[in-house]
């Protein structure tokens, strides 16, 4: 029986709807996480950027985004944007044919849409407190069309060039984190430093709330990427928690040992670094490997942020150091530690003799990160020719909430 003619599997369908809901929750979680990190007069601006992606990305996804990602192939780079345009041809009885899980295609559309929503929202932390809303709106649109949608097709569509080559990315090390992180670095270098630099978070409990929602949602992000319920789903779930926990503790201990006090924000940031790094490998590696990946994530991302600070890059909320470096590292570590014993649909990494697979992972990480960086830089240059990209010093001093949106988070200075 072909997948198209299979009856709906109630268990898998219910699980995937739950996972889609969890991934959706990550975008408000990101808004809280970033909102707590910025100054109080910029809280609503950074949060609105996440919620704007929640709305506008859905519109683009419905219109042509899903079709560009999973429609009929065009030279291995992108899908036909007209095939599923406005979800044409998708009915109650249309089944997802990517596996034999027995889930309706509308479930796959919904689940993948949540990934598309959060990915560009990650980038906003890099240029926090200094970008106009019109420029962000144009950036969000262009980046989805020319970076995110093609990457999804190349890696997660069976006809994609990188998928055919043998590159693996279980839940988004390249597609989500490396692409967003290196786009963030390009944004920082093009837009430049803030005139008013404030790196003290205004509300740490808000950061903790956001981290909790992200961590919780990440189980849907990673475990759900198996697109069904089986043993790989369970291992991806546990690997997610193990890596996040070991990374959080590693970051805390490093910060503490370097003459600082143990910081709550450091613990929370380390957890997010671990989550980003395990994402591409979650369903392809052992539980012990997740420990190693978590420790390396906490250490490497911590020192990446330190390098950023020494270089003077004004990545306000450390998007490059946490997501860019974490995603890149995770893809490379997948090339080292992948094991068919833990996922027969995966590969054996360098540790088990898979030299070629390791080379493909590293090459894909470099090429995709470079494209995300180069295109983002060029697109921002073009946007700057169309509209004002960076607010002036007076707007920064007043706060973008009042300046751009006429609203404030704490009108009574509570």
Element (H, E) at 307: helix 287-311
CATH number, domain of 14, equals 1.10.3430.10
The pTM score is 0.96
Domains held by the chain: number: 1
Per cent of the chain over pLDDT 70 is: 98
Whether 394 is covered by a domain: the verdict is no
Angle in degrees, 0-180, between the axes of helices 133-143 and 105-123, rounded to the nearest 10: 130
Residue 198's pLDDT is 85
Whether 68 is covered by a domain: the verdict is yes
Whether 201 is covered by a domain: the verdict is yes
Whether 402 is covered by a domain: the verdict is no
Rounded to 5°, angle at Cα 325 from 234 and 46: 90
Q: Which domain holds residue 254?
A: 3-388
pLDDT of 296 strictly over 80: yes
Whether 85 is covered by a domain: the verdict is yes
Whether 59 is covered by a domain: the verdict is yes
Whether 409 is covered by a domain: the verdict is no
State how far the Cα of 16 lies from the Cα of 220, in Å rounded to an integer: 8
Whether 272 is covered by a domain: the verdict is yes
Residue 260's pLDDT is 77
Of 179-183, 193-197, 364-368, 369-373, the one with minimum mean pLDDT is: 193-197
Backbone angles phi, psi at 168, to 5 degrees: -115, 145
- How would you label 234-266 residue by residue, b for 16+ Cβ within 10 Å and e otherwise? ebbbebbbbbbbbbbbbbbbbbeeeeeeeeebb
- Chain segment 104-147, per-residue pLDDT in tens: 999 999 999 999 999 999 999 999 999 999 999 999 999 999 99
Residue 10's pLDDT is 97
Backbone angles phi, psi at 230, to 5 degrees: -155, -170
């Amino acid at each position: 029986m072909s997948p198209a003619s299979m009856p709906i599997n109630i268990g898998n369908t219910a699980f995937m709807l739950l996972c889609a809901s969890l991934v959706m929750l990550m975008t408000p979680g990101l808004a809280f996480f970033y909102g707590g990190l910025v100054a109080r007069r910029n809280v609503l601006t950074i949060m609105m950027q996440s919620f704007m992606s929640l709305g506008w990305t859905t519109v683009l996804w419905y219109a042509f985004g899903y079709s560009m990602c999973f429609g009929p192939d065009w030279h291995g780079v992108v899908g036909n944007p007209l095939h599923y345009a406005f979800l044409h041809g998708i009915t109650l009885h249309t089944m997802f044919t990517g596996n034999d899980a027995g889930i309706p295609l509308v479930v796959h559309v919904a689940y993948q849409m949540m990934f598309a929503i959060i990915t560009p929202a990650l980038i906003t932390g890099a240029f926090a407190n200094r970008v106009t809303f019109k420029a962000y709106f144009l950036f969000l649109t262009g980046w989805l069309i020319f970076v995110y949608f093609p990457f999804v097709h190349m890696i997660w569509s069976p006809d994609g060039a990188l998928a055919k080559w043998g590159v693996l990315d279980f839940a988004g090390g390249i597609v989500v984190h490396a692409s967003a992180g290196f786009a963030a670095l390009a944004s920082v270098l093009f837009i430049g430093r803030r005139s008013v630099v404030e790196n003290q978070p205004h509300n740490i409990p808000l950061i903790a709330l956001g981290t909790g929602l992200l961590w919780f949602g990440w189980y849907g992000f990673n475990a759900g990427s198996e697109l069904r319920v089986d043993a790989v789903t369970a291992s991806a779930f546990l690997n997610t928690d193990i890596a996040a926990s070991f990374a959080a503790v590693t970051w805390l201990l490093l910060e503490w040992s370097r003459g600082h006090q143990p910081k709550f924000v450091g613990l929370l940031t380390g957890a997010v670094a671990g989550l980003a790094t395990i994402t591409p490998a979650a369903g392809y590696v052992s539980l012990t490997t997740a420990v190693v990946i978590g420790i390396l994530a906490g250490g490497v991302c911590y020192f990446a942020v330190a390098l950023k600070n020494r270089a003077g890059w004004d990545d306000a909320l450390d998007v490059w150091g946490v997501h860019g470096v974490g995603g890149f590292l995770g893809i490379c570590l997948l090339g080292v530690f992948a094991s068919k014993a833990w996922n027969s649909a995966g590969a054996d990494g360098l540790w088990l003799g898979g030299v070629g697979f390791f080379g493909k992972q590293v090459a894909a990480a470099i090429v995709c990160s470079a494209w995300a960086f180069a295109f983002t830089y060029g697109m921002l240059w073009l946007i700057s020719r169309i509209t004002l990209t960076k607010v002036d010093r007076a707007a920064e001093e007043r706060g973008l909430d009042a300046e751009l949106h006429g609203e404030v988070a704490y009108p009574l200075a509570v």
